[in-house]
Structure 1
């Protein structure tokens, strides 16, 4: 569905590339992760996939994936209306029947009359994510979109998204190796430009509603990620 082939890129003003012949592929719907050390280029690659950054060489193919959204931590909403009014205004008519379900499952029902600036960082990130989920999309990139959200609520939200959108593609970016190991189907590990190949894909546990994950299986996935990083 999304294929990156021989991507080369260097941050302006730097000596060394961040991507040196990087290739990776996402072949099916579900939750997939981009994971790597700080500075490995996770957000950069995500923005390339979303079409927001084009100053690279190589090819990114988006087969049957026309609408890609990039949601990121600390993104802001307009401050002149309540968050409820904003959500209602930007949601397509045919998707409005999902507003209450998403808002309730995200733990946001009590804040719909509040202004965006009055919310905590975790509440703001949940509102931002909700507004993207209520649009029409093929792929949603979640770049630290659930930062500042407690662990229990974060799991509840991820499982709800999986239940509601089984045919959609999600690219999840988090600094938590346990989190990507638990919830993602495939973890694309970004490595140094000096390593070949620059990405290695590790199979995740892909936890869904009603599915338990054994501690030893989770630890094995985490160990694999650490070993190839």
Structure 2
């Protein structure tokens, strides 16, 4: 369970709050989302949760969660070796088969001999996400980790991640309201500043592979998210 209580952040020298008295709870593992307009503190919140940012007031509690990882758009890998060699160094023997499965799903099978700098931005983001999925974690923040990846491939990747990691917590940051409404379980909608309540938690459709999507329910969820962020 992830519990955030009265979290308040204001950067030094600023008179404006990033967010104030932010409180929410994610009681179950799943593919959850942080959503809201630019500037409401999604990345700041993510970095606080993963202990990459301090200077805040309030409490973060992760009952049963002690290994948090953070991956983000345009994260770099050294260019001195091939992508495959980088992944070899961090892949446990027990996850070799899973790695092959993820390479197929992510469309990376034919890129293992290339250097990271030779890949497109979308390919680089997929490689970075793959290497985090091969590590030991309880919660993984995906801060626009699938930016520059086409919509169909993003959905394929997210569905595979949900199927392979049902007992892990994910926090997916995206600006795509259709995507988070359709694929995510709980959507934490941030409002930013001193606005209260500082956030709302919306039930997503949490679609799984082969599941039939109810378009009317999806549209209601999207409207609920848009209203919560206003």
Shorter-normalised TM-score: what interval? over 0.9
Cα distance in 1 for partners of 2:183, 2:87 equals: 27
Q: Which residue of 1 aligns with 2:64?
A: 64
Distance 1:12 1:97 in 2: 47
Partner of 1:119: 119
Task: Determine the C-alpha separation between the residues in 2 that align with 1:113 and 1:192.
Answer: 44
User: How far has the Cα of 1:213 moved from its partner?
Assistant: 1.4
Partner of 2:216: 216
For the residues of structure 2 that align with 1:95 and 1:184, how far apart are their CA atoms?
Answer: 25
Number of equivalenced pairs: 229
- Retained in 1: the 8 A contact 2:19–2:194? no
Q: Shift in Å at residue 215 of structure 1?
A: 1.4
Deviation at 1:13, TM superposition (A): 2.9
Note if 1:207 corresponds to 2:207.
yes
The CA distance in 1 between the partners of 2:194 and 2:97, in whole Å, is 49
- TM alignment of 1:35-114, pairs within 5 A: 35-114=35-114
Q: How far off its partner does 1:96 sit?
A: 2.1
User: Per-residue deviation at 1:130?
Assistant: 0.2
**Which has the larger displacement, 188-197 or 140-149?**
188-197
Query: What are the ranges of 5 or more consecutive residues in structure 2 without an aligned counterpart?
Result: none
SS state at 1:167 partner: coil
SS across alignment from 2:6 = strand
Counterpart secondary structure, 2:136: coil
Q: Is the 8 A contact 1:95 1:135 kept in 2?
A: no
CA RMSD of aligned residues (A): 0.9
Post-superposition offset of 1:162: 0.8
Q: Output the TM-score relative to the length of structure 2.
A: 0.97
Tell me the residue number matched to 2:226.
226
Question: For the Cα contact (< 8 Å) 1:30–1:162, is it kept in 2?
Answer: yes
Which ranges of 4 or more aligned residues in structure 1 deviate by more than 3 Å?
A: none
How big is each residue's C-alpha offset from its partner over 1:111-167, in whole Å with a ceiling of 9 and x where there is no partner? Answer: 000000000000000000000001111111111000000011111100000111111
Match of 1:28 in 2: 28
